[in-house]
Amino acid sequence: MANKDYYSILGVSRGASDKDIKDSFRKLARKYHPDVNPGNKAAEDRFKEINQAYEVLSDAKKRQDYDQFGENWEYAEQFKQAGGHGASGAGFDFSQFNFSGGQGRAQFTNAAGMDNLFENIFGGMRNHKMQPRRGQDIEHKVEITLEEAFSGTRRLLNLQTEDTCQTCSGTGRMQKNICSTCQGAGVIPRMHQLEVKIPAGVKTGSRVRIAGKGAPGRGGPAGDLFLLISVRSHTHFERQDDDLLINTPLPLVVAMLGGKIEVPTLNGKLELKVPPETQNGKVFRLAGQGMPHLGKTGRGDLLSKMNVVLPLKLNGEEKELFSRLRDMRSEQQ
């Protein structure tokens, strides 16, 4: 974009307001967007120019430096430290360079001189400013069943790991899938598949870290992937931290006389010995039959709550027995 005026590219005056700049950018971005002009290289190049111009003029600090130093605005701080002030310098001799542009804008027209200035005065600051940067962390929601949380499971995820907008050639940053430059126009995410392991014992709200599987860095390490776990509610089991609660039907006869019943768990059925005269709502604790402790050994407990079931469709003999029981209990009172 050498010798090109960012204001002219966006079709605004140097005194344009932020709103005017933004409105003009959006209008031009829609007009020259690659999706609107498939296969049109000229439109694609124009779109990149528009994005680059908007990146500078939409930022107050960058715009101020651009107005003072022209297309070399990125080196404004180095100019100032070296004693330069726009087209005229104090503390450094800029007389060998030809500045032009008018209206407060300074441009180098001596390309060789400009290169010497950057190399001799700024010590190769072009390379120095590209500091390695760690990639961004990524969060991905994963819903699993209680059985999967009990045993651990795996998932094949489709992930977006590109944190720059390819349409803008990387000038726009991605924030919640919206490009800061394009305002959502033409965002082309980079997708890939990744198989991840979800450990046993996770619960709703757990964050599982997958190291180095986030967004790629720029000369630095990749970020991390964090799985945000949500466990579906279960038909029979209610989770209480790492304990499980289940309502267990208890026949009236077993409740009165005692006996054995089967209690379902997430790992099969267990036999529970019920003592005589067990009351409705009684809770029995089956140690170690609950959820695994995440990242630790051992498991929680299973809480089996007794729900006494009354018999239905009594025959004559059964009714007679209950009548006799009623009479006997009445006599004892």
What pLDDT does 106 receive? Answer: 42
d(CA 310, CA 307): 10
Query: Could you say which of 103, 128, 153 is where a domain stops?
Result: 128
User: How far is 12 from 34, CA to CA, in rounded Å?
Assistant: 23
How many separate domains does the chain show? 3
Instruction: Give the pair of three-digit tokens for residue 58.
Output: 């939409």
Confidence of residue 211 (pLDDT cuts 50, 70, 90): very high
- Calpha distance 242→313 (Å, rounded): 40
Same domain, 146 and 162: yes
Residue 325 lies in a domain: no
CATH of the domain at 43: 1.10.287.110
What pLDDT is stored for residue 189 in this prediction?
55
Per-residue pLDDT reduced to its tens digit, 220-272: 899 999 999 999 999 999 999 999 999 999 999 999 999 999 999 999 999 99
- Token pair of 234 as six digits: 């279960």
Q: 79: which 2 tokens?
A: 């100019």
- Same domain? 36 vs 99: yes
Residue in the structure block whose two tokens are 């959820």: 291
Ranges of H-type helices in 136-257: 146-151, 252-257
pLDDT in tens, 125-152: 444 455 788 989 999 999 999 999 999 9
pLDDT of residue 108: 44
105 shares its domain with 24: yes
Domain assignment present for 22: yes
* pLDDT band with cut points at 50, 70 and 90 for residue 72: confident
Final residue of a domain: which of 231, 256, 285? 231
Tell which of 196, 231, 266 closes a domain.
231
Give the tens place of pLDDT for each residue, 91-131. 444 444 444 344 444 444 444 444 444 444 444 444 445 57
Token pair, residue 135, equals 């990639």
pTM higher than the cut 0.85: no
The C-alpha angle with vertex 177 and arms to 60 and 214, in degrees rounded to 5, equals 105
CATH number of the domain that residue 213 is part of: 2.60.260.20
Sign of CA dihedral 254, 256, 257, 259: positive
Kindly state whether residue 17 falls inside one of the protein's structural domains: yes
Residue 17: the pLDDT is: 93
Where in the chain does DSSP place strands (E)?
A: 84-85, 88-89, 99-102, 105-108, 138-144, 153-160, 174-175, 178-179, 191-198, 207-210, 225-231, 237-240, 243-251, 259-265, 268-274, 283-286, 302-309
Q: Residue 278: give the domain boundaries.
A: 237-317
